[in-house]
Chain A
Amino acid sequence: MTLAAQDLSIGVRLYDVSLALETGKITAICGPNGAGKSTLLKAFAGLLQAHAGAVNLDDSSLATLHPRERAKRIGYLPQAHEIAWDIPVRSLVELGRMAHGDTRAEPVDAAIAALNIEPLQDRRAQSLSGGETARVLLARVLAGEPAWILADEPLAALDIGHQLALLRHLRAAADQGAGVVLVLHDLAHAMNYADRVIVLSDGRLAADGEPEAALDVSTLQSVWKVDAQWIGADGKRALIAR
């Protein structure tokens, strides 16, 4: 299964981007502020209209796919943790089933179990801490059993413990066959946890490949304008200024 952008241009945010995503992997989208990361993710989620080019899910154009069909296959987690009403946590997770038109217990229970939030089930959404909210909202996405999980900076505003836990959950989802696409600001997380890194700069594709190659020192220099170097062993890299 593929989710692919073809010559995609959106407003002043994205120019002529072509790339195909793959399932079973974690793909990180990186780039400086304003590079078009969230725009690209929203376009992959089918939430933005392309001004030129298209996004295709398998063989069909995302723009012509019925919203419910699209919603069954693509789960989207925005950066903002907006929960307007103090609804029960379980009802919130069940919203993930909306496109399927049911609230079947099995996938909802599975999503709750996958994120270890059983103890939160009977709580109300607005009583949760930031870390708990992040896990509940991800469970909402998993409950829909989508083939694609697109998350916009899911680690922002989380402490290191919750960051690593959430990355573990996302890795588990990828291992089970989902295509996981994350906008990440923390380049060390992208380096250590992603299978593939896409670097955007001023709305254009600047690098695309395995983390070591896509985030090499010369890309850091040319895209982020920083003089930095990677230290540490494989999978435990850290970025420090030079």
Chain B
Amino acid sequence: MTEAAVSVWQLRWRRLARDHVALAALAVLFTLYALCFSASWIEQWFGVTGIDTDLMSRFDPIDAQHWLGSDEAGRDEFTRLLRGGQVSLSIGLFAALGSSFVGTMIGATAGYFRGRIDMVLMRFTDFMLALPALPVLIILAALDLTKLGFSENFVRSGDAGYWRIVLIVTVLGWTTVARLVRAATLSLVEREFVLAARAQGASSWRVLWVHVLPNAVTPIIVATTLRMGGVILTESALSFLGVGIQPPSTSWGSMLTNAQELMASNPLLAVYPGAAILIAVIAINFVGDGLQSAFDPRADPH
């Protein structure tokens, strides 16, 4: 009865705080992000580098300075893993948010307005789904940006490769979200509370924003978290094909690619980035689960 003054977001946070698995996953994820984005300080602390090669110390064993040893070019594996995580984790976040946003807009528009708009948008979605993803990815990743009017300097910087991947994965990744949101919207629009809002004179915008999207938030969150894992994996595939993140910069995917030549001699070099991807993706999915129940007022146990 004291809940009168509590806002929706406070309630959601309280529900999330009761979900220990989600909290643990959130802590893991937070730690991963924090570690990765303080990589340069950690490098200074240990006096190692994850970027510069040192051919005198190739395949160093694990010791106090090199927590995970060093790789085939003498770079410290632990800090290199953190450097790779910066790229993988942030690409995962941006591209997943980007594709969710695009997918939600397209799916909600198609599901709400139906008819011709729905037809056009969904055929476009089918078209995007039918595109063979990998060849398209390779072509887009190999496009010469200078021909599109970008400056030479920008194209050569690491930033261009990074944002190029975010954009490509967003453009190709929104279809699942769009279909999920459309399906949710189609069923929500038939519900009586939507009819009630329209009978009161609510605009389409209001109905979508206040009634449809908040009720579709569960599939959106689930799809976003799944996308995040998927994006990290797609980035790995691109890097594997040599069109992703270019050295000296790195990502978990490109580290995995490097390691496969060394599977026989140094299998651990593949285990580290593989484990990092695994931990990140699982933690993301658990957080997604937790958010899903936290956003559902009916999940409240009273």
Decide whether A and B assemble into one complex.
Answer: no
